[in-house]
Amino acid sequence: MGKLIVGNWKMNGLGPALAEAQAVAAGLGGSLGGSGVRVGLCPPATLVERMARCLSGSSVLVGGQDCRAEASGAFTGDVSAEMLSEAGAVLVILGHSERRSGYGETDARVAAKVEAALRAGLEPIICVGETLAEREAGRAVAVVSTQVRGSLPQVLGGRPFSVAYEPVWAIGTGLTPTTAQIEEIHAAVRAEMSAVLGASGTRAPILYGGSVKPDNAAEILSVSEVGGALVGGASLKSADFLGIIAGAG
Ligand code: PGA
């Protein structure tokens, strides 16, 4: 199966940044068909609709970075999965560590958001990952396994989704785990996904995220059970992002 490479722009990007998204689409051209690589970009909510419009007709998928579990209501400042979908999103990142740590998002809250994403027809990318303290305490596998078990609702069975393993200490730091460490956690994630969801847990891709760059992408993407990448900083510049995508071919 082709890899899934998704850019997470986080809280970066005003209108002029759409030129980078267009450059990604232009750089991919029609060449994706053969390699089967799927590419997505998740801009801030304010840009989802404009990005979807300017990339329509291209192979690049547009996504949100979070959503509220409820479809509507008195939730000042929040965005629902239905709103993202109406704006043109087809993907949504859920449970990113910056949401888990900054907004106290629990596994149960993430699971409720995953259900909302499916209700709205979005393909969720569900993030998990240990902190440095948890890794140093020898708890990385246990922490990540618990997150997978708690964040993946049963209704995911048979639906398109992915899990992203993002060690918190590798995000935005330039640090990356060894390929052996990535392989160990991805195997644990796969085992947990299969235990929770049965057959469909054996198929959905497991992305790696955390300081993925053009110069380490090919090595990381060749690790067993790495089905793609979730890219933060290096997705803001089309040349870097295209360089990462080239490593997935
Ligand atoms: P990074 O971020 O690539 O800048 O480390 C990854 C992420 O947070 O998804």
Q: Are strands 61-64 and 91-94 parallel, antiparallel or unpaired?
A: parallel
pLDDT at 144 (0 to 100) = 98
What's the 12 CA to ligand 1 centre distance in angstroms?
13
As a whole number, the mean pLDDT across the chain is 96
Domain encompassing residue 240? 4-246
pTM of the predicted model as reported, rounded to 2 decimal places: 0.97
Q: How far is the CA of 10 from the centre of ligand 1 (A)?
A: 9
- pLDDT digit string, tens, across residues 176-221: 999 999 999 999 999 999 999 999 899 999 999 999 999 999 999 9
How far apart, in whole angstroms, are the C-alpha atoms of residue 39 and residue 61? 6
Determine the Cα–Cα distance for residues 201 and 205; give it in Å rounded to an integer.
9
> How confident is the model over 28-35, as a mean pLDDT?
64
Give the list of residues 6+ apart from residue 178 with CB closer than 8 angstroms, or none.
none
Question: According to the model, what pLDDT value does residue 32 have?
Answer: 52
The yes-or-no verdict on residue 33 having pLDDT over 50 is: no
Residue with tokens 């393909």: 123
Asked whether the beta carbons of 175 and 197 are under 8 A apart, the reply is no
What angle in degrees, to the nearest 10, is found between the helix axes of 179-197 and 214-221? 50
The reply to whether 186 belongs to the active site is no
pLDDT band at 31 (very low <50, low <70, confident <90, very high): low
Q: To test the ligand 1 pocket, which listed residue (101, 171, 175, 176) has its Cβ within 8 A of the most ligand atoms?
A: 171
- Using CA atoms in the order 92, 98, 102, 106, what is the torsion angle rounded to 10 degrees? 60
CB 217 within 8 A of CB 182: no
**Rounded-to-integer distance, Cα 194 and Cα 157, Å:** 10
> Quick count: other Cβ atoms within 10 Å of Cβ 149?
15
User: What is the structure's pLDDT at 35?
Assistant: 72
Q: Assign residue 56 the CATH number of its domain.
A: 3.20.20.70
| List 20, 82, 96, 186, catalytic entry | 96
Positive/negative CA dihedral, 155, 156, 158, 159: positive
Q: What percent of the chain has pLDDT over 90?
A: 95
CA of 41 to the centre of ligand 1 (A): 13
Instruction: Note if 96 is an active site residue.
Output: yes
What is the total count of domains within the chain? 1
Please state, in angstroms and rounded to a whole number, the distance separating the CA atoms of residues 44 and 41: 10
